[in-house]
A and B are shown apart, each in its own frame.
Chain A
Amino acid sequence: KQEVTQIPAALSVPEGENLVLNCSFTDSAIYNLQWFRQDPGKGLTSLLLIQSSQREQTSGRLNASLDKSSGRSTLYIAASQPGDSATYLCAPFGSEKLVFGKGTKLTVNP
């Protein structure tokens, strides 16, 4: 059974800082991994999808890496802004479904 762990559970940083969110998963038999953002009381917004054959995927200030063999993914946010404050969720996709971690709650202080 796939289990997903996200560390840290919460993170508070000053504006402008570069930061890394970590995601680990126990079953490496995955097709892809998605990173999502969730604002309070809202649905999930897909940020990045990394295919199992890829090592990295970039979108603007976001860069996600995937090491499938070791069961790890990281989300790098460059030059953080207060608007980046949200909960970030990672979810590997395998066996027909996404499995979610509990997320990292990020606060970027002006």
Chain B
Amino acid sequence: DGGITQSPKYLFRKEGQNVTLSCEQNLNHDAMYWYRQDPGQGLRLIYYSQIVNDFQKGDIAEGYSVSREKKESFPLTVTSAQKNPTAFYLCASSTYIPASSYNEQFFGPGTRLTVL
């Protein structure tokens, strides 16, 4: 059953702690993405990776870090430097064909992070 899994579904963090959100895909996609969703706002891109061992900052990368050691996995760490981390975090993946109109993104079920 192909798809994208995110864990945990809910995560609570105390101020000053780092937490890591998991994202795994078995779609054999090269590209993976992390988005943040806040009430009343559109999704905003945090980081993305088009190939293993490489990633780029998105629009709101400050206070976050990622790694891409395996094609299937793209974990996101929310650090204590992130001022307002409470949000819904969504992971996505797609094929990566440069300058192509065929790349379609598919999303995981999300992780809701709450800072206490």
Contact = CB atoms under 8 A, between A and B. Distances in A.
Interface of A: 4, 31-32, 34, 36, 41-46, 49, 51-53, 89, 91, 93, 96-103
Interface of B: 4, 6, 33, 40-45, 48, 50, 56, 58, 88, 90, 92, 99-110, 112
A54 B103 CA distance: 14
Given A31-B103, A43-B6, A93-B105, 9 more contacts: A34-B104, A46-B104, A46-B106, A46-B107, A89-B43, A93-B103, A97-B45, A97-B58, A98-B105
Given A43-B90, A97-B45, A97-B48, A102 B104 contact: no
Contacts of A53: 101
Given A31-B99, A31-B101, A43 B40 contact: no
Contacts of B100: 31
